[in-house]
Amino acid sequence: MSEVNNSTVSYPGETYRCANTEISTRNHNEEWLHIFEANNINPLTLSPIIIKSKDIKNCRSTWKGKSNQFEPRLLTKIDCLDDIPDIFRFYGLNIISVTNDSYLLTRGSVYESLNYDENVEVQLIRRNVGSLVLGIGQSESSVIDNLRYCGVFESNVYLNEPIKFGQLLSGRHRCSFETRLQNEAITIRGVQYETDGCYESENKILLIEGKSKPLKSFNVRQLYFPYRTIYDHVKGKKEIIPIFIATDTKTKIFHIWKFAFEDPLVMSSIKCVAYNKYKFA
């Protein structure tokens, strides 16, 4: 845990408060300001800042606000740039889980922007009508099932060959590895992750993260943690294709971004290599 440098600030929130006379309440901003102050975290330090789950939970005892929301799992689940608390934005910080009960506050970016290219034409696809169940629901898993059974994943944009195995990696799993965020080395040990979809063909593995609404960005860990687990296991025997799906329920359009990690060992090496839009005819 970093220590407050009193020659810089008298307490971590002072600089922030001077620039923000009215403290924002959006995205648990007040709670995070209290967590910083209660744990003597100096967000101006250049040293790595690790905060434990118990440090977050213990803030309940000194909190005088209304929400009393100090559940680490919920406070640290920041899945897109729009969800970042203002105090994180002010100091240029992001947060990432590094063990089952600790989090790293880092200046490395953990988000990837999603570009909705208006020049890309919508491709019409035919829904598989052989099932009476596929048409039920609009959840992420329902969307993935429908796209899988109408052949999108087996098209030449993605696997370009028939699916042999899947749905795979259902449920919760844990991962451990060494990686980098820009110039910062990070050690992940026993961190939990989930996948929305995973399919295997003869030569490739398709890894899917899906959302039932349009987003402007996403947290790269959602794809990288399962990607890295698979990469370390298959040891180059098959190509791994990570994709992100966002469904616009108003227009009924499925937006799919295909990504690649230019260096599989570096989390921040993610790159978008294709973008397509689909809609049922």
Q: Are residues 229 and 150 in the same domain?
A: yes
pLDDT one-digit tens code per residue, 215-269: 999 999 999 999 999 999 999 999 999 999 999 999 999 999 999 999 999 999 9
The encoded tokens of residue 155 equal: 């098209």
Q: Kindly report the number of other CB atoms within 10 A of residue 10's CB atom.
A: 10
Q: Are residues 130 and 241 in the same domain?
A: yes
pLDDT for position 1 = 38
Distance separating alpha carbons of residues 277 and 246, to the nearest angstrom: 10
Percent of the chain residues topping a pLDDT of 90 = 83
In a domain, 6, yes or no: no
Q: Are residues 151 and 102 in the same domain?
A: no
pLDDT for position 180 = 96
Question: Is residue 5 over pLDDT 70?
Answer: no
In a domain, 185, yes or no: no
The single residue listed with the structure tokens 């499925």 is: 254
10 Å CB burial of residue 121 (0-12, 13-18, 19+) is exposed
Domain boundary among 107, 131, 147: 107
Which residue has better confidence, 19 or 88?
88
Q: Are residues 94 and 130 in the same domain?
A: no
Mean pLDDT score of the chain: 91
pLDDT for position 126 = 94
The single residue listed with the structure tokens 């449920």 is: 171
In a domain, 178, yes or no: no
Question: Is residue 7 over pLDDT 50?
Answer: no
- Residue 274's contacts (CB-CB under 8 Å, 6 or more residues apart) are 157, 257, 258
In angstroms, the Cα distances linking 208 to 8, 244, 252, 256 are 45, 6, 19, 10
**Inter-residue contact 65 to 85 (CB < 8 Å):** no
In angstroms, the Cα distances linking 281 to 126, 127, 128 are 6, 8, 11
Q: Are residues 33 and 151 in the same domain?
A: no
Q: Are residues 151 and 93 in the same domain?
A: no
Q: Are residues 100 and 217 in the same domain?
A: no
Q: Which domain holds residue 127?
A: 122-171+193-280
In a domain, 48, yes or no: yes
Q: Are residues 91 and 215 in the same domain?
A: no
In a domain, 112, yes or no: no
In a domain, 91, yes or no: yes
Q: Which range has the worst mean pLDDT, 11-15, 38-42, 86-90?
A: 11-15
pLDDT for position 183 = 86
Q: What is the CATH number of the domain that holds 238?
A: 3.40.1350
Give the model's confidence band at 159: pLDDT under 50 very low, under 70 low, under 90 confident, else very high.
very high
pLDDT for position 66 = 76
When divided into structural domains, the chain yields a total of 2
In a domain, 186, yes or no: no
pLDDT one-digit tens code per residue, 57-106: 999 999 988 777 899 999 999 999 999 999 999 999 999 999 999 999 99
Q: Are residues 29 and 141 in the same domain?
A: no
Domain boundary among 76, 107, 138: 107
Q: Are residues 272 and 232 in the same domain?
A: yes
Domain boundary among 107, 139, 162: 107
pLDDT for position 20 = 72
Give the model's confidence band at 2: pLDDT under 50 very low, under 70 low, under 90 confident, else very high.
very low
Q: Return the half-sphere exposure (C-beta side, CA atoms, 13 A cut-off) of residue 94.
A: 21
Q: Are residues 145 and 30 in the same domain?
A: no
Q: Are residues 152 and 240 in the same domain?
A: yes
Rama region for 59: left / alpha / beta (φ>0; ψ in -120 to 50; rest): alpha
In a domain, 47, yes or no: yes
